[in-house]
């Protein structure tokens, strides 16, 4: 389940609520009822003469969390410490999170169950496998054999909703790496082995020990296949060198 407050260092989507001479109050869009403050010194690099040159009421942007006051439910934010790439990535992820929540509500409606019931039945398990729930819908839409180890009526409905509502403008392929090490430095050896396979189009995520989900996203199928093959080969070679037992299964 989502935390009540972000943590220091997190990037958060905010809506500017009130602009003052020395800073701005902002609503944390991902945390219901919570607000933060952007001091004028954290608005932009250098001297800010007029804060309204940078911020206005109703503006949606991305900030970095500098400090969290859990007793007040309030956070100190920085606008200047977020670059344009981080901003685009965060906004895109936030929009996908919103889409995913609406799709989950559709699944619950088709199952005639509450969101809490669905959370206990399958959403909780999916959250352990997918840091971003929209990725689960993308995989369900793209794969012919999505998460074969999970069963239930919910899965049929989930796939149906995914295929009806998620359009993939790209190819997404992958599989699972099962890897473990009994050596004293096993954790570091495993991490090093997995990181050896990272590329721009490759994503590796924890899927419940000892499994790690590896996915490749690309607009071209052949390029995706080549990247997957290359990444898996690097991981298996690094695992052998580091004393890690590893095996790849295509999904």
What Rg, from alpha-carbon coordinates, does the chain have? 21
Angstrom distance (rounded) from CA 135 to CA 96: 9
Q: Does the pLDDT of residue 145 top 60, yes or no?
A: yes
> In the CATH hierarchy, which fold is given to the domain comprising 171-250?
Alpha-Beta Plaits (3.30.70)
CATH no., domain 11-82: 2.40.50.140
Q: Does the pLDDT of residue 19 top 90, yes or no?
A: yes
pLDDT score at 78: 98
Instruction: State mean pLDDT over 26-52.
Output: 94
pLDDT score at 167: 83
The domain made up of 85-165 is a member of CATH 2.60.40.1190: no
pLDDT in tens, 48-66: 999 999 999 999 999 999 9
pLDDT score at 220: 82
Going by C-alpha positions, the residue among 210, 183, 199, 205 that lies closest to residue 233 is: 199
Q: What percent of the chain has pLDDT over 90?
A: 80
Q: Please check whether residue 208 is in contact with residue 129, taking contact to mean a CB–CB distance below 8 angstroms.
A: yes
DSSP conformation letters of 140-195: HHH-SS--TT--SHHHHHHHHHHHHH---SSEEEEEEEEEE--STTHHHHHHHHHH
pLDDT level of residue 4 (50, 70, 90 thresholds): confident
For the chain, residues classed under CATH 3.30.70.1130 are 171-250
pLDDT score at 2: 60
For the chain, residues classed under CATH 2.40.50.140 are 11-82
Report how far apart, in Å, the C-alpha atoms of 53 and of each of 15, 36, 210, 247 are: 16, 20, 51, 55
- ω into 210 cis (within 30 of 0): yes
Least confident window among 86-100, 104-118, 206-220: 206-220
pLDDT in tens, 152-206: 999 999 999 999 999 876 788 899 999 999 999 999 999 999 999 999 889 998 8
For the chain, residues classed under CATH 1.10.150.190 are 85-165
Q: Please check whether residue 26 is in contact with residue 15, taking contact to mean a CB–CB distance below 8 angstroms.
A: yes
pLDDT score at 142: 81
Angstrom distance (rounded) from CA 235 to CA 240: 9
């Amino acid at each position: 389940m989502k935390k009540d407050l972000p943590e220091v260092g997190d990037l958060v989507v905010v809506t500017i609520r009130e602009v003052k001479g020395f800073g701005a109050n902002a609503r944390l869009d991902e945390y219901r009822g919570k607000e933060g403050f952007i001091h004028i010194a954290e608005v932009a690099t250098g001297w800010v003469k007029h804060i309204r040159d940078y911020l206005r009421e109703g503006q949606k942007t991305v900030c970095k969390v500098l400090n969290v006051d859990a007793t007040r439910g309030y956070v100190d934010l920085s606008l200047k410490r977020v670059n344009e790439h981080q901003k685009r990535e965060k906004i895109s992820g936030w929009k996908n999170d919103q889409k995913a929540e609406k799709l989950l509500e559709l699944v619950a409606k088709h199952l005639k169950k509450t969101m809490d019931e669905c959370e206990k039945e399958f959403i909780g398990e999916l959250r352990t496998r997918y840091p971003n729930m929209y990725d689960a819908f993308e995989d369900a839409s793209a794969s012919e054999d999505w998460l074969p180890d999970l069963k239930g009526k919910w899965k049929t409905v989930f796939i149906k909703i995914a295929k009806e509502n998620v359009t993939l403008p790209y190819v997404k392929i992958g599989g699972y790496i099962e890897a473990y090490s009994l050596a004293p430095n096993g954790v570091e050896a495993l991490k090093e082995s997995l990181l050896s396979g990272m590329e721009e189009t490759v994503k590796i995520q924890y899927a419940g020990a000892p499994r790690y989900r590896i996915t490749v996203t690309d607009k071209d199928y052949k390029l995706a296949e080549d990247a997957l093959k290359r990444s898996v080969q690097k991981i298996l070679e690094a695992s052998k060198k580091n004393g890690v037992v590893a095996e790849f299964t295509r999904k």
